[in-house]
Amino acid sequence: MGMAADDIARAGKALGSDDAAVRLRAALAVGTTPDARLVDVLVARCAVEPEFSVREMLTWALTRLPPAVTVPRLVAELRSGTAQARSQALHTLSKIGDPEAWPAITPALLADVDDEVARAAWRAAVALVPDGDEPALAAQLAAQLGRGGPPTQLSLSRALVALGEAGAPAVKAAADNPDPRVRRHAHATERLTTDPDAGFELAIEEAKRIVALGGTS
């Protein structure tokens, strides 16, 4: 049971309001009464919505619709030239969890030049990777070790840790990389693997010490 035609029109207008509170309420209403006729409006709004809380509500509203409706539209959005469109589509796909989206998580997205897109791609890949494909994914993720600042590095480490034993060989190999930045990140990731409660900053500092001493422990 969907929304009345007038309600569809009002919801679409409210999602484009200048008032973030109005947009938030509209996204909540659309998610509460899901209607496939609003999928394009929701996806388009994700690409431009400046408020994090509203984007999260838009994602929730999309997860309330059938994957057969949302997944193809979100996959198409991954080819957008707008970074936020790509990152939010990836984030939403990770929340939907439909395995049909896995082929769309390409190496290009995993290495996207925009850190937010890459981070979203890493999370989506870990959520969607089929059984048996984890080692290949780990190798692609490990190729990004040393990239970006602390938030980006932490996201990558968490993705590799989430792959469990499948991620360990790729991280171990990176610990011998000629680039000290890569080695530090790999050692910090190994520390998080063995001690998930360790803070990332502490793990990085310990990794710096290890690399400076030229050791492995």
pLDDT in tens, 114-165: 999 999 999 999 999 999 999 999 999 999 999 999 899 999 999 999 999 9
184 assigned to some structural domain: yes
DSSP string, 184-217: HHHHHHHHHHH-TTS-HHHHHHHHHHHHHHT---
For the chain, how many structural domains are there in total? 1
pTM of the model: 0.88
Would residue 150 count as lying in a domain? yes
Q: What Cα–Cα distance (Å) separates residue 208 from each residue in 3, 153, 161, 211?
A: 57, 14, 19, 5
What residues make up the domain containing 202?
A: 135-217
* 43 is a domain residue: no
Q: Which residues neighbour 182 within 8 Å (Cβ) at sequence distance 6 or greater?
A: 145, 146, 174
The tokens of 35 are what?
A: 């209607």
